[in-house]
Amino acid sequence: MTETVPTLVLWDIDRTLLYVGEIDRQVYRETFAEVVGRPAVHLPPRGTGVTMPLAIRELLLANGVPAKDAQELLPIIVELLPKQLASHSEELQRDGVLMPGAVAALSAVHDHSGLLPTVVTGNLKPNALLKLGAFNLTRFVEAEIGGYASDDDHRPALVAVAQARAQAQHGITFNRANTVIIGDSLEDVRTGLEGGAPVLGVSSGKTSAEDLRAAGADVVLGSLEDVQQVMDAIASITCSRS
């Protein structure tokens, strides 16, 4: 009997699984002020899904830091951001919220023998783990095989990063036929289209279901609340490419 090849499920974090409100933006403010020495007037747009290094670069340029200086300051801010977010751990637990259905959907994917869950996210790895840990979600994913902005600031490249790590860990080749991205933003869709993975869009963030479909998401759900619907969507995407 042929053994079933598992599907690698790449979860997005922000606005797909959880939402930390203004905490990320507050961390940007504090870190910018510490490094640059003055307040940031313009902050990165909400809910875009771009990687943190790109958001930081835009933060610096939008607040009048010359491009040459921005290039030098960017790695300093990247290093400080996780420490600054860690100082807000209590707020993450108190003010952050789980997206509807997130725990049940994560649990169902985790418990399914044919699915291998991890994350692909625009967060730096320490920030991602802080957020997941604040909601006790780390237990549902193999975080060590995920793809993070710490690995590459070009988010579509993170699909291959996660696939390579999963292959090294489990001895299975992962490609477009057995990989799925679940996310809420246009950046999640672009990550799949360019990175080589079908996308299950969830219109739980700032992007409408219509826009997710128009961008190229293979399936779009309104939320993660109907767990069977989530599981069926993952199956339909992978079956159509087997």
Q: Which CATH number fits domain 7-20+97-239: 3.30.360.10, 3.20.20.120, 3.30.70.890, 3.40.50.1000?
A: 3.40.50.1000
164-191 burial, b if ≥16 CB within 10 A, otherwise e? ebbeeeeeeebeebbbbbbbbbbbbbbb
Please say if the pLDDT value at position 167 is more than 80: yes
pLDDT at 240: 53
Going from the C-alpha of 199 to that of each of 23, 212, 217, the distances in angstroms are 28, 10, 5
**Which percentage of the chain shows pLDDT scores above 70?**
98
pLDDT at 1: 36
Please say if the pLDDT value at position 151 is more than 90: yes
Q: Where are the domains of the chain?
A: 7-20+97-239, 23-93
Going from the C-alpha of 37 to that of each of 30, 32, 62, the distances in angstroms are 10, 7, 15
Banded pLDDT at 46 (limits 50, 70, 90): confident
What's this model's pTM, rounded to 2 decimal places?
A: 0.95
Banded pLDDT at 2 (limits 50, 70, 90): very low
| Residue that the structure tokens 């060590």 belong to | 144
Please say if the pLDDT value at position 80 is more than 90: yes
Tokens of 8: 């690698």
Banded pLDDT at 242 (limits 50, 70, 90): very low
Please say if the pLDDT value at position 5 is more than 90: no
